[in-house]
Chain A
Amino acid sequence: MVLAVRRPKQAKGSLRMPIPTPFHPRTSALCTSYRWKQWAGYYAVCSYEMNHEREYFAFRHAAGLLDVSPLYKYDVGGRDAAAFLSRVMARDVRKLKVGQVGYCCWCNEEGHVLDDGTVTRLDDTRVRVTAAEPALAWLDRNRRGFDVALEDVSERIATLALQGPNSREILKQVCGADVERLKFFRATATKLDGLAAVVTRTGYTGDLGYEVWVARDDALALWDALVAAGKPYGLEPAGLDALDVTRVEAGFILNGVDYFGARDCVIPSQKSTPYEIGLGGTVHLDRDPFVGQEALKREVARGSEWAFVGLEIKWDEMERLYDSFGLPPHLPATAWRTAVPVYANGKQVGQATSGTWSPLLKRNLALASLRTPHAKLGTPLEIEHTIEYQRRTLPATVVEKPFFDPERKRA
C-alpha cells in the first residue's frame, strides 16, 4: 500500500517551501542566528549561533541534539520484508536480527549506487529504511513478487539525533536503564518519559550516539524531555554545520556531495559503485540475486577503478604557502564541500569532495575519490588550493579513515 505524502498542518493550503519540521517551534526559538538551510524541503538549522563551534564541541565533549526529521523514512511491512530488502539492497538484510540496524546502500542494475541509508529490523515483519533521497518509487518498482507493504512514514515520524559522549547518560535519565544495554547499531522500542519511542544507537557523528524516533505529535514533548535531562550534562542543540565537521571526521560519505545517486547523474562518469565510494563492506555479494549483483561481481573480478580515501593536507606546507603570500594560514570556518582536483606528480588522479579542519584532531582533512593505483595508504599527492585568486597545490597524504573513531562509539 502506498500512502500519499501528508503535508504538515502548518502548510495547509499552500505549497510554500521549505516547510517546518515537527520540532520547529523549539528550534526556531533557539536559532538566534537565523541561519537555516533547506534539507529535503524542510527548514534545517545550520547553526543556532552565528558560529557553529560550540555546537561542534558539544557533539564531541558533551552532547548535541540535532533534528533529523527531514530524513526520508519508509516502513516495509509483511512476511517478506527482509527478503524484499535483501533483493533491493546490496546488503543481505535477512542476516539482521530483530533489533539490529544495518548500514546499506542500494544500486541500479549497473551496480551504481542510488542512495545509502540505514535499515532497522523493528520486529519479524517490519523493517524501517532511511534514505537521503526519496526511495518510495524505487522500492515499489522492485516489490513485484514479495508480500510486503510500503509506507512512507517520513511525515509521521519525528526524529532527533542525540550524539556525543554524554548521550547515554542523558538518555538514561529519560528512559531508564534499557538504553544502557543498547549496543552499537541496535534498536529498541521503549518508553521515553512516557512517550512511545524507538531508540537506535546510530548517528552521523562517528561518536557514541542515539537517534530517537517518535510519533510526530510527540515531537515537542520529546525535545523538552531531552533538553531538560541534558542540561546538567552540557547538552546543546546543534545544527548541520557542526554535523558536517563531525561526519567528515568520521569519514562518512554524503549523497549529493561525495557521490551522486545514479538517477541524478547525467553522464556515466558521475556514477559510482559501492566499492568506489568505500561502501564495499556493506555489500554481500555471494548470495541469491539482488539488484546490481552481476555488475558488482564483474567489478570485483576486474578490480575497482576508483577508491574513496581520507587525505591529510600538510599543515606546515600550507603555512609556508600562505607565508609566501605574506598571509597567515586561513581555513574556511565550516567544512567545505566544493570538489577540488587531486594530483599525483602533476597529473590529475581524482578529486577531493569534502573536507574540514578537525578542531579535535588538529588535522586538516579531506575525503577524496582517487584512481585506485593512487589510493594506497601513505601515497603522496597534491591537492589544489586557491590562494589570493591563484591556483596552487598543497601536499597531501592518503591516510587511514575514519579519522576519528573513539572506543566509546562501540563500547
Chain B
Amino acid sequence: MKVDAVVIGAGHNGLTTAALLAKSGRKIVVVEKRDKVGGLCALEEFHPGFKVPGVHLDTSGVRRDVAESLDLARHGLAFVAEEPPVFAPASDGPGLLLHRDPAKADAEIRAHSARDAKRYVEFRAFIGRVRGFIARLLNEPPPDLNGTGAGELWDLARTAIALRRLGADDMLEIARIAPTCVADWLNGWFECELLKAALAGPSLHGTFMGPWSSGTTATSLLQECVASGGVRGGSAALVTALHAAARAAGVDVRLGSAVEHIDVAGGRVKGVTLASRETIECSIVASSCDPKRTLLDLVAATHLAPRFAMAMRNYRMRGTSAKVHLALRRPLEFRARPGQVFEIARTGETLDELERAFDPVKYRKFSSEPILEIRVPSISSPELAPAGQHVASILVNGAPAELEGGWTDARRDELGNAVVNALARYAPGVRESIVAREVLTPLDIEQRYGVTGGHIHHGEHALDQLVMRPAPQCARYATPIEGLYLCGSGSHPGGGVTCAPGALAAKTIIERPARP
C-alpha cells in the first residue's frame, strides 16, 4: 500500500495533523494502536455505565482557529464561552469559588481579602495585555536558531516587534517573571493562600515541579494566556469531531494497528511497518507519539546520529501524575458548600501544601497527601453515568513514574486510598458514594497509552523544553530524518489539549514538502 503520509496515533494532535494534511489534498492513513480514537482524551468505560475521558479533561486551551480551519462546527463541535468556575475547598470556612472573570470572582475573593479582590482585577488585566504576545509565541513554529535565511530573520523580527508592541514595561515584566517560581509571582500579587494555591495548581499538573520550582511562572502564564472557555462535551466531544472531520477529508483511520517501526533508508522515510507485518509506503510520517517513543523506539538506532540520540535520551519525561476515576452513586458534595455541585475542584490550601506534595516525588516516593484536581464531567455531560449518578476524574499530583521499589498492585491501592482520603477531607460523604474506583499510576498510563514515563504532557514543561521542544535539532517538527515529523505534545507549544502542535506540524509539512 502506498500513501502520501502516515500519521501515527489518533489522539487529538494526530487527528488534527491528519485532517489538515488530507484537506491539502494528500492521501493520509492514521494508524492507531488502540481500538478507539482519542489517545489521552478517549472515553473509557471504567465501570459498566460509567465513562470518563482517560487522562485529559481540560479543553480550555483548544485553539479556535484550528477548529475553524477544520470546520469542526460542522462535525458537531461547539465552544462554550466560559469555563466552569473552580472550587477550592478549605479545611474550615467556605472555601473559594474562583471564576476567571474578575467581576464574577469579586465577591468570593472579597470574602477572603478585599485587597486581593482588587488585585485580581489587575492580575487579569495584566494577563489580558500579555496574552496577545504569548499566544503569538505559542501559535507559530519556534524560530530557527541557525537559520540565516531572510525569512527566519523576519520571523524573529516579527516576534520582537510583537514584543515591543507590548510596551517595554510589560515586556520587562514577562522577562522578569518567566524564570521565577509561581509561588514568588503569586505572592507578589496576592495575600490569600487559598487563592494563590488555586491559581498555582494548573501550572504544576503533570510536571516534575512544585510551586517553589523556578520556571513555573512561565508554565502558568502559558496556560493563562491561551485559556478561553472550552469545548461543549469536553475532550471526548473534541476527538469525536476531529475524527469526523478527518474521515470527511478522506483520512483512513485504521484502529488496532500498532506500528512496529518506521522504515528509513538513506536518511529518508520509506514507510511504516505495522505489528501485523503489513507495510505502508509513504515519504512522510507524522508521529503524534512522544518524541522518545518516536525516535528511540520506532526508528532503528542506526538512523540517528549519536549526539541527536543523546539529546533524545536526555529529553525529560518523568511522569508525576496519576489518575483516579470514581463512579459515584451521588453527586460529589463538599462539606463547606452543601447542596452545591462543582464541575471542577482543586485541593491544596496553601502554596506550601502544594510544595510538600511535590517533595517526596524527588525521592521517588508518592505523597501521602496528594494534591487533587477533581473534575465531575457528568454534571454537564449526564450521559457519562447512569441517571442521577456521577463520575469524578481526579488528576493526582505527586506520583512519580520512577517509584522506589516500582509500582505494584498494592502500591496502586495505597495511592488510591490516599487520594480518597485527601478528597474525603473536604467531601466526607464521598467514601459511601463510591461505586467503583479505577487508579491509573504513571506506569498504567504508560502501558495503556504508550506514553514514555506516563508523562501526560509528552515531556516536562521546563524552560529548556519549551519553545525549543523537544530539542533544538527537531524543534520545528521536522526531525533529522527526511520526511519524519513530530506532531504531538512533545513539540511546541507542548502538552494539554490544544491541537496546536498537530496544526503547526501540518502547516510545516504542507509548506515545506520533502526535498526531491
The answer to whether any beta carbons of A and B sit under 8 Å apart in the complex is no
Interface residues of A (CB under 8 A from B): none
